[in-house]
């Protein structure tokens, strides 16, 4: 079947024929005789004919980018990437000014703990329910308050309440988006 520049098959599938010619698949007529099929003066086929003839002639060097050449492009390259691009030089990182760190607020953080109750487990031994966790003497508890993570050791648990020993406080960085 002879295709002309006005053939709907040629106009719709020029990209496929370009690919077939470039890899030499042999499944379509374009791969067998690209210069005969793609020759013509039409807008759609002019660049294809020149590129197909160049590819079929055995040109294996670097592909130039112009209006008359085909650009053989890897479909998995990112958008806007071209193989000859240089990597950007290592630019110095912008200076980020450090804000002074706010001092820990232990009293307010301790008040943010939710103590739901104290239970007597055995004679003289108590446990407490704090922030939906059952804790006893010597256990560690932590809570987040005002951009900081606070950690306490349970000093004592009795009928009168719970005693806390502040251990450490550290600034929590916001999660990366």
- What's the pTM? 0.43
Query: For the chain, what is the radius of gyration of the CA atoms?
Result: 37
**pLDDT level of residue 93 (50, 70, 90 thresholds):** confident
Q: pLDDT-derived band of residue 176, with 50, 70 and 90 as boundaries?
A: low
pLDDT, mean of residues 89-106: 78
pLDDT digits (tens, 9 = 90+) for 98-155: 777 778 888 999 899 999 999 999 988 999 999 999 999 999 999 998 889 999 999 9
Cα 122 from chain centre:
54
Strand 115-122's sheet: what is its strand order?
115-122, 125-130, 133-135
For the chain, what are the domain ranges?
Answer: 1-74, 106-171
């Amino acid at each position: 079947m002879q295709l002309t520049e006005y053939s709907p098959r040629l106009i719709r599938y020029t990209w496929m024929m370009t690919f077939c010619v470039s890899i030499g698949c042999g499944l379509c007529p374009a791969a067998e005789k690209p210069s005969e099929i793609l020759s013509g003066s039409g807008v759609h086929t002019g660049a294809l004919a020149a590129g197909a003839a160049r590819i079929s002639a055995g040109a294996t060097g670097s592909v130039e980018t112009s209006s008359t050449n085909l650009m053989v492009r890897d479909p998995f390259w990112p958008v806007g990437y071209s193989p000859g691009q240089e990597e950007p030089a290592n630019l110095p990182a912008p200076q980020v000014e450090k804000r002074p760190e706010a001092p820990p607020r232990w009293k307010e953080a301790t008040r943010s703990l939710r103590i739901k109750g104290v239970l007597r487990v055995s004679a003289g031994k108590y446990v407490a329910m704090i922030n939906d966790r059952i804790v006893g003497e010597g256990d560690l508890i932590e809570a987040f308050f005002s951009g900081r993570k606070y950690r306490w050791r349970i000093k004592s648990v009795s009928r009168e309440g719970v005693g806390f020993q502040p251990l450490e406080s550290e600034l929590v960085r916001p999660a990366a988006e």
